[in-house]
Structure 1
Amino acid sequence: MNVTGAVLPGAAGVAFVVFAVRLAREPRRLGNAVWLGVALLLIALWLLRAALHLEWLTPVLVGLLAVVAVLVALVLPAALIVNGVRMWRREGRSAGNLLSLGLGAGLVTLEALAFAPLGRWGSALVAIAVVLGGYFGFLFLSLLVYSVVYSRIGRRGGFDAIIVLGCGLDGERVPPLLAGRLERAIRLHDREPEPPLLVVSGGRGPGETVSEAEAMHAYLRDRGIPDDHIRREDRARTTEENLRFSADLLPAGARRVVAVTSSYHVFRAAVECRRLGLPFHATGAPTARYFLPSALLREFAALILHYRRTTIAACVVIVGAGVLLAIFA
């Protein structure tokens, strides 16, 4: 292998080693997802470069790339718009529920502008938007892959306490999303030789007749969990407050603590635990498929806001480079 051919696998190896070291030291870091994404991207480019040297494989690769292009350009925006309409009808018109609809419409608009005669600066703005979209798309896919990795490496048992994060009620009724979290917590609780403490966390939101903690407490009692195994935290309105207020209710010496949430929310909850200096990890309950696109986009947006300085800096670099190229090209 010549020097040029060794660059990609070498760089991929370095990126993967950095990822592995960071993962071993602290798995609850967003940077781990980026390093894993970089390693996988470099490996993919290396394999693609190697495959292009095989003449019989070139037509297959061209066909696969064409299929991917069609999926990204046509199928993805359509699927996002359909999902957005479904969320609108089933879950209401909140900003979070309309994320997939907005993203799908944005992609369609960007694709239409790419073929419009916009002149030098118009075309430059479209090109900058495409690069920004690629940047955020890379981050989203990296986070998605790493979230799966994180969910597979967490502690499986031996818990001192289990915290169940609230996610809203239907009046005083526990809705399916929250019931999934409670059922996950019950399974973890019941399989321990010494059942851990259960902390149910959530205040009373708009339109709710009782606090989330009270409704969850009643649900657990109905499922056979003894009262002395449950503590209620009924002030929290956010994930940060769920974790911080629940930590105050834990017995002294409780270090093996897991926060139970929905699958799409696991990694952000873990990042929040790290930010608050809490030695907790997170685990997830299954989520309805139609709910996932908007939920994942919402979690991604929240994580990006956590690291807004880095995000702003990256956007400034991309926009600045695009403007300079437009001026001097």
Structure 2
Amino acid sequence: MALAGAELGWVALWLLVSSAHSELLSAAFEVAYGAHLLPLIAGAAVSAPLVRSGDRRGWVHLLTVVAAADFASLVLGLCVAVWVPGWLWRSAVLLALCAWLAVAAWSVIFVRRISASRTALPSRPVDAVVVLGCGLVGRWPGPMLCRRLDRAIQLSSPDVPVVVSGGQGADELTSEGQAMADYLHSTHGEHLRRHHNQVLVEDRATNTRENLRHSLEILREHGLAIREVAVVTSDFHVQRTEMTTDVVAGLDRENGGNVRFSVFGAYTPPVARPAAHVREFVAYVLWTLRGLKS
């Protein structure tokens, strides 16, 4: 649908340029439309490895990136259409160009924050580390989740518990929490023993808010005084997670708590990065706009 929407945008621009009855503008638009195929081909090329990897959503990821490239390439058509005679049409095209530039600037800021989250470290000592779950491969964490768990080990200090949080999906053989715990004990067992890091399993959560709420409950059930909590997720998911931590921390204060969250990103495997960044940017924009309305 998104891809069709972008192509409809090109059709609308073509109709606008055609109405000017200018051979020069028509020729320029044909060049722009031909050039717009280059980012589409590039998007398909960078996403093709995910299709070959056997991921069930591989084609969806590929089409997501191609659709994003198609929308981005509309700027080429807009740059031609802005020369169509008539102040009304020019004003509309200029407004569309401004909107395109605003989204482009927003996406640059989004990507820069993603990059910063991968190497950020806690500014204050943390009392616990919570790792958010995501997809499994059989009974084992997938590549993206393994990166999150490795990042959690990097952030964990001696005697700091690590909560692995995630329920069992309808198509999963075990809970994400249990698979994450198995990975940590198998891959980082020596580190956990040497630093006395207890691994606590939360296996009921179905979304980020439940991840945080249930993890706090488990930590407090173990008699742990929790003030500073580091939350680990994938880099592209950091900004939406921060929105959720603000909500959960507010609810915790209403119930007499005083928890503070800080969110840290883990590298996303390169093969999954383009589609993940596109989807999350769109979701982040929608969440932000919804928040501004409320």
| TM-score bracket for the superposition, by shorter chain length | 0.5 to 0.7
Q: Equivalents in 1 of 2:153, 2:112: separation in Å?
A: 27
Q: Deviations over 1:144-180 (max 9, x none)?
A: 2234445555416732211111111112222111111
Q: In the alignment, does 2:230 pair up with 1:258?
A: yes
Q: Equivalents in 2 of 1:312, 1:156: separation in Å?
A: 32
Q: In the alignment, is the contact (CA less than 8 A) between 2:131 and 2:232 conserved in 1? A: yes
Q: Equivalents in 1 of 2:119, 2:145: separation in Å?
A: 22
Q: Relative to structure 1, is the Cα distance of residues 86 and 113 closer, same or farther in structure 2, using a 3 angstrom cutoff?
A: farther
Q: In the alignment, is the contact (CA less than 8 A) between 1:260 and 1:282 conserved in 2? A: yes
Q: Deviations over 1:121-147 (max 9, x none)?
A: 776655443322211111111222234
Matches within 5 A, 1:168-183: 168-183=135-150
Runs (5+) with no aligned partner, structure 2 = 1-34, 250-258
Match of 2:170 among 206, 215, 226: 206
Number of equivalenced pairs: 240
Q: In the alignment, is the contact (CA less than 8 A) between 1:162 and 1:197 conserved in 2? A: yes
Structure 2 match to 1:137? 104
Structure 1 match to 2:285? 304
Structure 1 match to 2:247? 275
Q: Equivalents in 2 of 1:222, 1:307: separation in Å?
A: 39
Counting aligned pairs with the same residue, the percent is 29
For the residue of structure 1 that corresponds to 2:162, the secondary structure is strand
Structure 1 match to 2:128? 161
Q: Equivalents in 2 of 1:302, 1:180: separation in Å?
A: 22
Q: In the alignment, is the contact (CA less than 8 A) between 2:130 and 2:229 conserved in 1? A: yes
Matches within 5 A, 1:1-329: 76-90=39-53, 91=55, 92-93=57-58, 98-108=63-73, 111-112=76-77, 115=80, 126-149=93-116, 154-155=121-122, 158-189=125-156, 192=157, 194-223=158-187, 224=189, 225=192, 229-251=198-220, 252-277=224-249, 278-309=259-290
Q: Relative to structure 1, is the Cα distance of residues 228 and 274 closer, same or farther in structure 2, using a 3 angstrom cutoff?
A: same
Q: Equivalents in 2 of 1:312, 1:80: separation in Å?
A: 33
Over aligned residues, Cα RMSD in angstroms? Answer: 3.5
1:210 positional shift: 0.6
1:96 positional shift: 5.7
Q: In the alignment, is the contact (CA less than 8 A) between 1:83 and 1:101 conserved in 2? A: no
Q: In the alignment, is the contact (CA less than 8 A) between 2:127 and 2:160 conserved in 1? A: yes
For the residue of structure 1 that corresponds to 2:43, the secondary structure is helix
Q: Deviations over 1:170-198 (max 9, x none)?
A: 12222111111112222333xx3x32111
Runs (5+) with no aligned partner, structure 1 = 1-71, 314-329
Q: Relative to structure 1, is the Cα distance of residues 300 and 275 closer, same or farther in structure 2, using a 3 angstrom cutoff?
A: farther
Q: In the alignment, is the contact (CA less than 8 A) between 2:232 and 2:264 conserved in 1? A: yes
